[in-house]
Amino acid sequence: MRLLSRKATCNTHGQDSSYFLGWEEYEKNPYDEIKNPTGIIQMGLAENQLSFDLLESWLANNPDAAVFKKDGQSIFRELALFQDYHGLPAFKKALVDFMAEIRGNRVTFDQNKIVLTAGATSANETLMFCLAEPGEAFLLPTPYYPGFDRDLKWRTGVEIVPIQCASSNGFQITAPALEEAYLEAQRRNLRVKGVLVTNPSNPLGTTMSRSELNLLVNFITAKGIHLISDEIYSGTVFSSPGFISIMEVLKDRKCENTEVWKRVHIVYSLSKDLGLPGFRVGAIYSNDEMVVSAATKMSSFGLVSSQTQYLLSALLSDNKFTKNYISENQRRLKQRQKLLVKGLEKAGISCLKSNAGLFCWVNMKHLLRSNTFEAEMELWKKIVYDVNLNISPGSSCHCTEPGWFRVCFANMSEETLKLAMDRLKSFVDSISKTTSHQMVKNSRKKYLTKWVFRLSFHDRGPKER
């Protein structure tokens, strides 16, 4: 008899993908300005390290929140015992207000519709458990976050069917692509329960347009399915067009309290906007009472530490702080993205025009030996092992076109980013030299052949006459 479950022994956790392997290589040889200046620079981790000073200064000015005090009184016992899966009310209130603030208060959220979970990883899995049976499917636009293969599928038994997006239109979702994905699911005998999008997109770094969002609403209405909008990067939108949340579109279409309104669920987290992935704060927001009720019970399997809920409820209730943080953080992200884009430009590399996220979607098609995923893997390996940059290959994000890479910019210092850009430029320059050298060699070959041909023709000429 099989001793362990299939889940434990197979690799559907998806962690053999290059996304995680590059990470491992980095761990073995991590760059350090002083201790290991030739080490691998981590550009595969979508972390936001740009605004910690703002958080640290808030903490220094508000010591009570971290030491279990409220108005000078200790609330340690209260917090130590607080394991109510409904969550700390003050925290939920602060969180929904923060979410509304990020959306320019064009939409507001009800704290009774939010469910706290240990990170968005937990939120996404929980939604799968609530909305789908094993063997059913969710449609996801490609390219998508590699972690979804584990988070959405592994223990839930749910399948992912890709909605193929192409560079020809900036990887935007189209109606034909949606229909094709739906048909593909049917061909594979999978019942489609919904669509899951990440908006702003990881790895694209772009916000969805109003027309894409409308398209999605039309599609899920027509098919009678769910829409999950993972908006964990919503606070990282640093330039126009601004962020349009799916809730805003529903509101504008006067869909409140309709059937479709109950089938749209938002996932959020403080891991990207606030740069606090270690604190494990995620959330599900849903207008469907049953989903909220079931997800709340399921959150027992991944509650947020009350110590952390309390600290962050104090932080996020400070409106002066949040207002300043949101705008300053976005300003710094914008500046840093420009640095990356310019650096890439210098190396003759372009990227998808982006307005959000902690990364750029970089076009290295011209550096591929051939327009294949094998060539992409080759290039990726070179970049990891020779150039010493860990970046994420598009294939790990299920991109349908080889040659795209996700390169992060917010998880290192400016100096490190500049160094990374220098390395990349050197690499590209060396390829060009090799390529032009190769081209010269190739053209020499051609010349030789012509001459040889001419010779032989000449020989043949007079004799054969």
Interaction residues for another protein, span 60-99 (CB under 8 A): 63, 66-68, 74, 76-77, 79-83
Interaction of residue 3 with another protein, rule CB under 8 A: yes
Interaction of residue 13 with another protein, rule CB under 8 A: yes
Interaction of residue 23 with another protein, rule CB under 8 A: no
Phi and psi based region of residue 46 (left: phi greater than 0; alpha: psi -120 to 50; beta: remaining) = beta
Q: CA angle at residue 277 from 403 to 413, to 5 degrees?
A: 65
Element holding 451 (H helix, E strand): helix 414-464
Strand-strand pairing, 69-70 and 41-42 = unpaired
> Under a CB-based contact definition with an 8 Å cutoff, are residues 377 and 393 in contact?
yes
User: Which residue in the set 294, 356, 391, 412 belongs to the binding site for another protein (CB under 8 A)?
Assistant: 294
The amino acid sitting at 89 is P
Catalytic positions: 145, 230, 232, 272
On the CB side of 66, how many CA atoms lie within 13 Å of its CA? 9
User: Which residue in the set 59, 100, 368, 431 belongs to the binding site for another protein (CB under 8 A)?
Assistant: 59
Comparison of 129 and 184: residue with beta carbon closer to another protein: 129
The amino acid sitting at 182 is Y
CB of 33 to another protein, least distance (A): 16
Interaction of residue 276 with another protein, rule CB under 8 A: yes
Nearest residue to 405 (alpha-carbon basis) of 26, 4, 44, 5: 44
Choose the stretch contacting another protein; rule: CB under 8 A; options: 150-158, 165-173, 203-211, 323-331.
150-158
Q: Which of residues 233-272 bind another protein (CB under 8 A)?
A: 263, 271
Interaction of residue 275 with another protein, rule CB under 8 A: yes
Interface pattern 394-413 for another protein (x via CB under 8 A): --------------------
The tokens of 152 are what? 């959405």
The tokens of 41 are what? 């620079």
d(C-alpha 75, C-alpha 367), whole Å: 59
d(C-alpha 125, C-alpha 149), whole Å: 11
Q: Given 3-state DSSP classes, what are the helix, strand and coil percentages for the chain, each rounded to the nearest 5? A: 50, 15, 35
Q: Which of residues 361-380 bind another protein (CB under 8 A)?
A: none
Q: Which of residues 197-226 bind another protein (CB under 8 A)?
A: 224, 226
CB of 27 to another protein, least distance (A): 10
> Under a CB-based contact definition with an 8 Å cutoff, are residues 21 and 384 in contact?
no
Interaction of residue 291 with another protein, rule CB under 8 A: yes
The tokens of 396 are what? 């790990």
What residues pair up with 163 in beta bridges, in sequence order?
141
Comparison of 78 and 252: residue with beta carbon closer to another protein: 78
Interaction of residue 125 with another protein, rule CB under 8 A: yes
Comparison of 2 and 463: residue with beta carbon closer to another protein: 2
Q: Which of residues 317-346 bind another protein (CB under 8 A)?
A: none
Comparison of 75 and 100: residue with beta carbon closer to another protein: 75
Comparison of 158 and 399: residue with beta carbon closer to another protein: 158
